Amino acid sequence: KAGVTQTPRYLIKTRGQQVTLSCSPISGHRSVSWYQQTPGQGLQFLFEYFSETQRNKGNFPGRFSGRQFSNSRSEMNVSTLELGDSALYLCASSLSPGEVGELFFGEGSRLTVL
């Protein structure tokens, strides 16, 4: 069974641009969560989607948005990029939101903002 797939793995953008990251969950998993990982802040929760609906949202500005498609694939978008958005963005999937702690992570998309 294929794991969680994130694309692209690496990308470089400049301030003011926008970026879209993609996440394909494990087959059969319907819940997708996104986390931002930085050396200073660690892992911070961005949002969670289930059945194309956002269930939870972390404390991030409105520049960060996401969506989920009917096939459970998810995308997150960051607009008007800032230097501080440089981070590893991790996607995790689970069968459903009730699957306590059973998150399966992708390898992440490493974003560098210049």
Partner 1 sequence: AQTVTQSQPEMSVQEAETVTLSCTYDTSENNYYLFWYKQPPSRQMILVIRQEAYKQQNATENRFSVNFQKAAKSFSLKISDSQLGDTAMYFCAFEGQAGTALIFGKGTTLSVSS
Kindly list the residues in this chain that would bind partner 1 in the complex (CB under 8 A): 3-4, 33, 35, 41-45, 48, 55-56, 58, 90, 92, 97-98, 100-103, 105-108
DSSP code at position 48: E
Start-to-end C-alpha separation, the chain? 37
User: Of 81 and 109, which CB lies nearer to partner 1 in the complex structure?
Assistant: 109
Q: What does the alpha-carbon distance between residue 83 and residue 62 come to, in Å, rounded to a whole number?
A: 16
Q: How far is the CB of 102 from partner 1 (least distance, A)?
A: 7
Output the CA angle 64-36-50, nearest 5 degrees. Answer: 65
User: Of 72 and 81, which CB lies nearer to partner 1 in the complex structure?
Assistant: 72
User: Of 59 and 70, which CB lies nearer to partner 1 in the complex structure?
Assistant: 59
